[in-house]
Amino acid sequence: MSKISGLIETKSLNKQLPSIVPIGAVIGLALLIVLALQPFQRTTAETRDKTQAPAINFTNANLKSSPDLERAMFAGGCFWGTQYAFSQLPGVEKTLVGYAGGNYAKPTYEDVCAHKTGHAETVYVEFNPRKLSYKQLVDYFWTLHDPTTKDRQGVDFGSQYRSGIFYTSKEQKAIAEDSMQRAQKSGKFRDKIVTLIEPATVFYPAEEYHQNFDIKHGSLSCPVPRSK
């Protein structure tokens, strides 16, 4: 302390020293935090690019696997079991699990689970209309989940588990609405169906470990209810 005091010749500088040291320490600490976070941010972005397939924009018809196939999207709670159920239908050529109906670009599973993106867990389906009609797909959809529970399927709660149909054309919209009315009048559901029927916009495929989860693991990890 005696050496420091000898360097300070005025009382004004002596009074400023206690305030100067803490400010410099705070600025230094802030810079260290920013530098430390930059590699983490880059790693997160790189991880998204490597584990998630490109988004599917429904304004681009060329993204189908084949011009002979049609596309559909359904949200019915946990997407693992729903994907497995659709993938077993004759006429279904391809399925993907992912996120739709939100307002956040390139969401990860963690983003969706944090309820900050507005996306629903969704199954993308490519099917051959000569073997399987869209009407049959929608009618089957009602047997796979409870469409009367808002933002919930069983023990799963949150908007990501909402019931939804994302139509790709005016024809699909009309078929989905008619099917929902018939399902409501069938007497199978005591409560009102709350399924949202919305236009398909952008579908973000989920991370690779989510794709065909039940087939990879040899069991129905989140089974879906079946109609009698």
Question: Which structure tokens are listed for 27?
Answer: 């600025």
Q: Where are the beta strands (DSSP E) in 45-119?
A: 56-57, 70-76, 92-100
Let me know if 113 is a catalytic residue: no
Distance of alpha carbon 206 from alpha carbon 78, whole angstroms: 12
Closest CA to 48 of 161, 208, 212: 208
Which residues are 127's β-sheet partners?
70, 92
Q: Which of 56, 72, 73, 78 is catalytic?
A: 78
Q: Are 68 and 133 in contact (CB under 8 A)?
A: no
Q: Are 77 and 194 in contact (CB under 8 A)?
A: no
Closest CA to 140 of 170, 175, 169, 174: 175
The torsion angles phi and psi of 223, rounded to 5 degrees, stand at -60, 150
Q: Where are the beta strands (DSSP E) in the chain?
A: 56-57, 70-76, 92-100, 120-127, 152-153, 156-157, 163-167, 196-199, 202-205
Distance of alpha carbon 89 from alpha carbon 137, whole angstroms: 9
User: What residues are annotated to the active site?
Assistant: 78
